[in-house]
Amino acid sequence: MDKLKKQNTRDVKAHLLRDALYLLLFVGVIVVVPLSGAINMPNPASKFSTWQDNIAFVKVRESASSLLASATRNNQTLTFADRATYQRAIEEVYWRHRIWPRENPDPKPSLDAVMSQAQLEKKVDDYLRKSQALEDYFQRPITAGQLQAEMDRMAENTRQPEVLGELFNALGNDPFVIAECLARPALAEGLLTHGAVEQLKQTSQTYNRIVPAAASFILPVISDNPFGCIDNSWTATTSTNAPSDRFDHTVVWTGTEMIVWGGTRDGLFNLSTGGRYRPATDTWIDTSTAGAPFARSGHTAVWTGTEMIVWGGNADNTGGRYNPVTDSWTATSTANAPAGRNSHTAVWTGSQMIVWGGVNFIGLTFNTGGKYNPSTNTWISTTTMNAPATRTGHTAVWTGSEMIIWGGWNGLSSLFNSGGKYNPVTNNWTDTSTSNPPSGRYGHTAVWTGSEMIVWGGGYSGYFNTGAQYDPKRDTWMATSTNNAPSSRTNHTAVWSGNDMIVWGGLGASGVSKTGGRYDLDTNSWTGTSRTHAPSARSGHTAVWSGSEMIVWGGVNNVGNALGDGGRYCGQGTNGDPTP
């Protein structure tokens, strides 16, 4: 499939280039358009590839009115420097809301410490080139009407109204600036999705026309609902520019974005692509593939405050650190890394990622792990002394001082109702109590409430709708109620909202599900989640908690087809910390 896709991309590219050349020869007027003085671009790259050497970036002459350097409204223009300044204001808002895990020992750095001026300018340069490519190669320039509609859509669909309001305010609440610096990048990203055209726009050494002249815009009204949603309701996530269909992928929440990465289309062909979903604007942005880890599924991902660290999957001991601010990847060291594995677990401690357990390509399970320090790009092994038995399909949570792993199976026939608490400072393991724990299982979920771990669901030969609360200080278990609990299932998702554990989806005796439930820890009771407008039934999906919503995405349906959509479930009234 990948070879066919690459071949199709090359064929489309060749056709586009031939058609462009024939058109130019037919018209007989070839003009190399110089850089417009109204946009002070950085010096472009001086090297072209072989085919670029043969075909210069050329355009048919356009009328003088179409050679505007930027959008104009009542003589209002934006230079490249203006756009870079506004881009910085946008990035400041996103950085302000970026989660800095409380476990991190150092204070949150300033935006200047994580993003250079050159990186800011690169973002502006990128969306301007994409806009130009839409016009040059599709003859579909972004119109004023599209910009207004996109602003209206953002205001109507936002699920982080406070963030969108801050973005508007950072741009002076000027609808022209918002259209150009917030709506245009989103439209350009969503409309320009063809790989061949993406490569062509990167070769463009110039861009001239940005938006039709004399465009007037109206500032849309943002919802004044502090949560941006109605309790116990579903809203679909936009599918525009969403990642391709997949399951067995990973997801992290940064505070402003849900980052999806990797996974598989069908259990055979893995992916090295991903996307960043922003509920404030209801938009997707592709993650860079330059320097990304090899395609994989069954891997793990954690959020550090500045980076998403991906590791393992397939049978690899490789990984990568993705920085969403710069849209760039850095490989993780393999020196002293744990053996390659998949279906392991990973937690973030504030300074280290701890991976543990899992299974390799011949079915060998592990009770080994490693602590990865991104600051030094180094690994230290976790001790196996008193460690739990080898396993996969288990869960792990971080308490603030310990990693608790529980459940799973050995890949053969043994299911575990045991676990362990690992202290990374002392490098010691302590068993979890085996008095009154849930029955052995794998494919269950676990969430940390701030004082207890709640495990629920899972299965082996059958499915469970049982679970329990584990108090690590007292080393005690208490069963969760089954009254009104969701139906038995495995491969579902669960998030902690601050008041509730919200369970959704998964695979049960009747197939995949689109149902769920909210478990109240204080009352030991369940309330069903609404089915109205819920995403289609699925398992193998992912979920994060944004602070007011559970966002689910991807997965696989009853007939084995991967899915590339999702939904936002409103848990209004909760006050929990967002999922890192």
**529-546 tens-digit pLDDT:** 999 999 999 999 999 999
**15-71 tens-digit pLDDT:** 333 343 333 333 333 232 332 333 333 333 332 232 222 222 222 223 222 323 333
Kindly indicate the confidence band of residue 563, based on its pLDDT and cuts at 50, 70 and 90.
very high
pLDDT in the model for residue 30: 29
Q: Look at residue 477 and tell me whether its pLDDT is greater than 60.
A: yes
**198-252 tens-digit pLDDT:** 454 454 455 554 544 346 899 999 977 666 678 899 999 999 999 999 999 999 9
The mean per-residue pLDDT over the stretch 316-328 comes to 97
Contact indicator for 479, 466 with CB cutoff of 8 Å: yes
DSSP string, 304-360: -SS-EEEE--TT---EEEEETTTTEEEEPP-TTPPPP-BS-EEEE-SS-EEEE--B-
**Whole-Å CA distances, 145 to 69, 141, 250, 349:** 19, 11, 36, 48
pLDDT in the model for residue 215: 64
Half-sphere exposure of 116 (CA within 13 A, CB side): 3
> 379: closest CA among 352, 347, 397?
352
- Report the C-alpha gap between 86 and 177 in whole angstroms: 8
pLDDT in the model for residue 235: 94
Domain boundaries, the chain: 35-56+64-203, 292-527
Q: Given 2.120.10.80, 2.40.10.120, 1.10.1060.10, 3.20.20.60, which CATH number is that of 292-527?
A: 2.120.10.80
Q: Look at residue 260 and tell me whether its pLDDT is greater than 90.
A: yes
pLDDT in the model for residue 199: 52
- Going by their DSSP bridges, the two strands 274-278 and 283-286 should be labelled as antiparallel
% helix, strand, coil for the chain, step of 5:
20, 25, 50
The residue ranking higher by pLDDT, 205 or 485, is 485
pLDDT in the model for residue 76: 74
Contact indicator for 501, 469 with CB cutoff of 8 Å: no
pLDDT in the model for residue 225: 67
The mean per-residue pLDDT over the stretch 478-499 comes to 97
Residue 512: Cβ within 10 Å count: 22
Contact indicator for 499, 575 with CB cutoff of 8 Å: yes
**81-129 tens-digit pLDDT:** 999 999 999 999 999 999 999 889 899 999 999 999 999 999 999 999 9
> 302: closest CA among 262, 353, 267?
353
DSSP string, 530-563: P-TTPPPPBBS-EEEE-SSEEEEE--B-TTS-BB
Q: Look at residue 193 and tell me whether its pLDDT is greater than 80.
A: no
List CB contacts of 328: < 8 A, sequence separation 6 or more. Answer: 288, 290, 291, 322
pLDDT in the model for residue 63: 27
